[in-house]
Amino acid sequence: MGVGGETPGFLTSRLSDGIAWARKWSLFPYPFVTACCGMEYMSVSSAHYDLDRFGAAWPRFSPRQADMLLVVGTISHKMAPVLRRVYDQMCEPKWVVAFGVCTCTGGFYDNYATVQGIDRVIPVDLYIPGCPPRPETVLDALMKLQAKIQKQHHPLVGPVRSAVVGSK
């Protein structure tokens, strides 16, 4: 059946697709909210924009129960070890979303205190620009993340088409 081989069989590739399908519709976000982007996160997670349509509505405030790390707001160098630890505590598979321009690049904070993008601390799957991003941007990003997850294959039942995200 080509388990782990170059050419997967029909059955294992369907199984891998099925697992990816299940994963992308049951994202459990961990909101790592540090700054004003949090207001926009509240908006997007509330009824008006309704993240539950994408199965990503229920925030888990324990990193061990979450699989999507939403980093929402400026990360300072004092906060960076905390973010790193939360990321390390999450189980695979896990995805990281940089929410807002501060998490992407540091934004306009080119100063002594601010991390110039959280990808200097943890690997990032998706960058959402904006200061803050509009809820529509966040929904678009969530759909892009779902598309990315759909392309990822379970390492036991299919070849890894794109690198399994979150590994070192």
Partner 1 sequence: MADVADNNPVLKHLLDQFRDAIIETHAFRGDVTAVVESARYHDVVLCLRDDPECSFDFLVDLTAVDRLKLKQKPRFEIVLHLYSRSRNARFRLKTRPVPDSDPVIDTVVDLYPAANWAEREVYDMFGIRFLGHPNLTRILMYDQFVGHPLRKDYPVNKRQPLVEERPVHNDRPGMVFE
| Residue ranges binding partner 1 (CB under 8 A) | 77-78, 80-81, 84, 110-117, 119-123
Place of tokens 């990816």: 20
**C-alpha–C-alpha distance, residues 43 and 47, integer Å:** 8
* Residue whose CB is less far from partner 1, 59 or 123: 123
Of 105 and 152, which CB lies nearer to partner 1 in the complex structure? 105
Cis peptide leading into residue 129 (ω within 30°): no
Compute the least distance from the CB of residue 111 to partner 1, in Å.
6
What is the distance between the alpha carbons of residues 5 and 21, in angstroms, rounded to a whole number? 22
Burial zone of 147 (CB within 10 Å; 0-12 exposed, 13-18 middle, 19+ buried): exposed
Closest approach of partner 1 to the CB of residue 100, in Å = 17
In angstroms, what is the minimal distance from the CB of 116 to partner 1?
8
Can the peptide bond before residue 132 be classed as cis, meaning omega within 30 degrees of 0?
yes
* Shortest separation between residue 88's beta carbon and partner 1, angstroms: 11
Nearer to partner 1, 76 or 152 (CB): 76
Task: Rank residues 79 and 142 by Cβ distance to partner 1 and give the closer one.
Answer: 79
